[in-house]
A and B are shown apart, each in its own frame.
Chain A
């Protein structure tokens, strides 16, 4: 079919990245990353149900450098998707949709998700007695 070869809109490469568009793509990307991250949550619960040795293995993975990097990435993805998801819910209610408002609440989401990520890791290390 000839229509199969039509160029599809939008052409992302001809646009200058803007806060609003980058944040929109980030919402999808973090959503996909979090869906993959559920695997670790499921393995963790299965390990807890299986026995102390299996649970120890997964905890050792979580404590490793690669494990910590993954958890840090997933924690940011979670807070970002959560905060931006709330922004989306306000939009669904027809609020905060103006150009200025969209930039303002966009910046708020970025700041809030970084702050919440840092806060949760500080809290985590504090409860381990590492601080």
Chain B
């Protein structure tokens, strides 16, 4: 007995051999974000009202720079994985769906690089 659907057979679409990679990456980034976001929000709350110099000094602290880069990577990876699922669920015009997902992925990469570059620039003074 074949486990493939009749439609899948007709279209010739087989397994992409990727299995649960997308699902697993969403969970792993979620787990990583639990401590990172609690740390980030607590830090921002503790520094509310601080001036420009104080913020830059904080970002430039090595531990903070590294944690911010880790948070940036996890946030944008998690966000684009999530938005991809939303688009796959609600956009039913094939080309529009593919275009929207591609746009989301490009934007996530661009925004992540912009954040990391800014953090590194501040850190290296």
Measured CA separation A123–B38 after assembly (Å) = 13
Also in contact, A34 and B118, with CB within 8 A (given A92-B27, A127-B47, A128-B48): no
Report A47 CB to chain B, min CB distance, Å: 8
Taking a contact as CB atoms under 8 Å apart, the answer to whether A89 and B45 are in contact is no
Also in contact, A127 and B59, with CB within 8 A (given A46-B118, A92-B27): no
Determine if B8 is an interface residue (Cβ-Cβ < 8 Å): no
Determine if A66 is an interface residue (Cβ-Cβ < 8 Å): no
Annotate B22-40 by CB proximity to A: 1 below 8 A, 0 otherwise: 0000010011011001100
Q: Which residue of B lies closest to A50 (CB)?
A: B118
Taking a contact as CB atoms under 8 Å apart, the answer to whether B37 and A28 are in contact is no
Q: Which residue of B lies closest to A83 (CB)?
A: B34
Taking a contact as CB atoms under 8 Å apart, the answer to whether B83 and A49 are in contact is no
Taking a contact as CB atoms under 8 Å apart, the answer to whether A127 and B34 are in contact is no
Q: State which of A48, A120, A130 has its C-beta within 8 Å of the C-beta of B56.
A: A48
In the complex, what residues of A have CB within 8 A of residue B122's CB?
A: 48-49
In the complex, what residues of B have CB within 8 A of residue A123's CB?
A: 42, 45-46, 48
In the complex, what residues of A have CB within 8 A of residue B56's CB?
A: 48
In the complex, what residues of B have CB within 8 A of residue A78's CB?
A: 37, 41
Determine if B103 is an interface residue (Cβ-Cβ < 8 Å): no
- Give the size of the chain A interface in residues (CB under 8 angstroms): 33
Measured CA separation A52–B114 after assembly (Å) = 18
In the complex, what residues of B have CB within 8 A of residue A32's CB?
A: 83, 86
Report B80 CB to chain A, min CB distance, Å: 8
Determine if A7 is an interface residue (Cβ-Cβ < 8 Å): no
Report B23 CB to chain A, min CB distance, Å: 9
Identify which of B34, B41, B114 gathers the most chain A CB atoms within 10 Å of its CB.
B41
Taking a contact as CB atoms under 8 Å apart, the answer to whether A52 and B115 are in contact is no
In the complex, what residues of B have CB within 8 A of residue A48's CB?
A: 52, 55-56, 59, 118, 122
In the complex, what residues of B have CB within 8 A of residue A75's CB?
A: 41
